[in-house]
Amino acid sequence: MKIFTGLPLTQNKSIHNHPAKDVFSICIPMSKEDSYGRKSWDETAVLVAIEGYKNWYQVKEGQIEIAEDGSNKWDDKKKGQFHLVENKPVEEVQELINKLMMHQPK
């Protein structure tokens, strides 16, 4: 995962009573790997579910292969499964998700 979100939300002093801010404020300091924000599979999936993928991604067909040890790899030669491949800079999607997360309902 290349998209990290939540850090700008936790640092925004004007946002109050925001459950996502509360959660990110608790979990980000708990792990050194989250120093740039949390890995954002879920947030990316929600963005694509609502807005579609075409503005940021292309779809690649293939199939995931899971080994006995739990590792996995993508096989482009097989069919039936799909994953997203970036066609815009990761920073652009990351910035958009962070902006949307900071929405403060009135």
Please state the domain extents for the chain. Answer: 4-101
Mention every residue, 6+ apart, whose C-beta is less than 8 A from residue 96: 47
Confidence of residue 104 (pLDDT cuts 50, 70, 90): confident
Instruction: Identify the helix (H) or strand (E) that includes residue 5.
Output: strand 4-5
CA distance 105 to 19: 12
Query: What whole-number percentage of the chain has pLDDT above 90?
Result: 93
CA distance 37 to 39: 7
pLDDT at 34 over 80: yes
Cα separation values, 79 from 20, 63, 76, 97, Å: 37, 6, 8, 30
pLDDT digits (tens, 9 = 90+) for 55-102: 999 999 999 999 999 999 999 999 999 999 999 999 999 999 999 999
